[in-house]
Amino acid sequence: MIIIGEKINGTLKKTAQAIAERDAAFINSLAARQAAAGADYIDVNAGTGGGNETTDLLWLIDIVQEAVNVPLCLDSANPAALKAGMAAVSQTPMVNSISGEARRLEGILPLVAEKESPVIALLLDDAGIPENLEGRLKIGRLLMENTRSAGIPDSRVFIDPLAMAVSTKTEGAVVAIDSMKILREEYPEVKFSVGLSNISFGLPGRTLINQAFLAQLLAAGLDAAIINPMEQGLINMLYATEMILGRDRFCRNYTTAFRKGRIEL
């Protein structure tokens, strides 16, 4: 599974402060620690509070690219910021994200097609996040129609089913998992990604909930997740579950991770 490190996010208080103060050491350390913990991509989200998102994003990109040799996941709803970011990166980034919102389809999809970037596609539209399964599926199908007509191969699209916090939506996880299962049948080449930790918002013992959800998502064929790669229990669960699901020949990944201290109990 592709690990996208979530910690450089301007909606988090400490990161927002570091961006505002241009505290390069703080950002550098977050990037380095996530890469060392196994992040395949580093998510960079400049947030929208206070500063200029495009300027802030470009600053973050520079710092992260100096710190690590890992591609970026450019996290913004703003087509102009994403365009500037895509021109500034040294390795093909993941674009996070398009959705069924007209502004994003029009502004971001052509950039993704041109640069041949993988892209995350959120199951929401101008009316928001649909609560029920049918609403999610409808947006998924619309998104696939759009990516296909833009010439983007299905295999470069990561659908994000958007799990709502289970504390407020009893079936938040189930709706996400079911939409994955159905869209996977309809579009066998398409990939799936989630922002994992939203599921546990507002509840105690969050890592336990994140881990239980991750195991179910992997069983349903999850390909990527935006997570905190320093959350040790989650990494443990990832290796064990991939092995249990028959995706780890001779248990090589699991045993190697154990030997190298990547898995730790």
Task: Please report how close the Cβ of residue 252 comes to ligand THG at its closest, in angstroms.
Answer: 30
Residue with Cβ nearer ligand THG (120 or 214): 120
- Under the criterion CB under 6 A, does residue 56 sit at the interface with ligand THG? no
| Under 8 Å between Cβ of 1 and 237 | no
**List of long-range contacts for 122-127, beta carbons under 8 Å, 24+ apart:** 122/97, 122/98, 122/160, 122/162, 123/99, 123/159, 123/160, 123/161, 123/162, 123/179, 124/99, 124/100, 124/162, 125/99, 125/100, 125/101, 126/100, 126/101, 126/102
| Under 8 Å between Cβ of 48 and 16 | no
- Under the criterion CB under 6 A, does residue 231 sit at the interface with ligand THG? no
- Under the criterion CB under 6 A, does residue 5 sit at the interface with ligand THG? no
- Under the criterion CB under 6 A, does residue 75 sit at the interface with ligand THG? yes
| Under 8 Å between Cβ of 77 and 40 | no
- Under the criterion CB under 6 A, does residue 120 sit at the interface with ligand THG? yes
List the one residue from 78, 97, 117, 211 that touches ligand THG (CB under 6 A): 97
Task: Please report how close the Cβ of residue 43 comes to ligand THG at its closest, in angstroms.
Answer: 6
* Binding-site size, ligand THG (CB under 6 A): 16
Which residues, 174 to 213, sit near ligand THG by CB under 6 A?
195, 197-198, 201
Which residues on adjacent β-strands are paired with residue 210? none
Residue 109, phi then psi, degrees to nearest 5: -55, -45
- Under the criterion CB under 6 A, does residue 226 sit at the interface with ligand THG? yes
Residue with Cβ nearer ligand THG (67 or 196): 196
CA 27 – CA 24 distance, rounded (Å)? 5
CA 115 – CA 96 distance, rounded (Å)? 14
List the one residue from 1, 5, 6, 243 that touches ligand THG (CB under 6 A): 6
- Under the criterion CB under 6 A, does residue 34 sit at the interface with ligand THG? no
- Under the criterion CB under 6 A, does residue 93 sit at the interface with ligand THG? no
Residues near ligand THG (CB under 6 A) are: 6, 9, 12-13, 45, 75, 96-97, 120, 160, 162, 195, 197-198, 201, 226
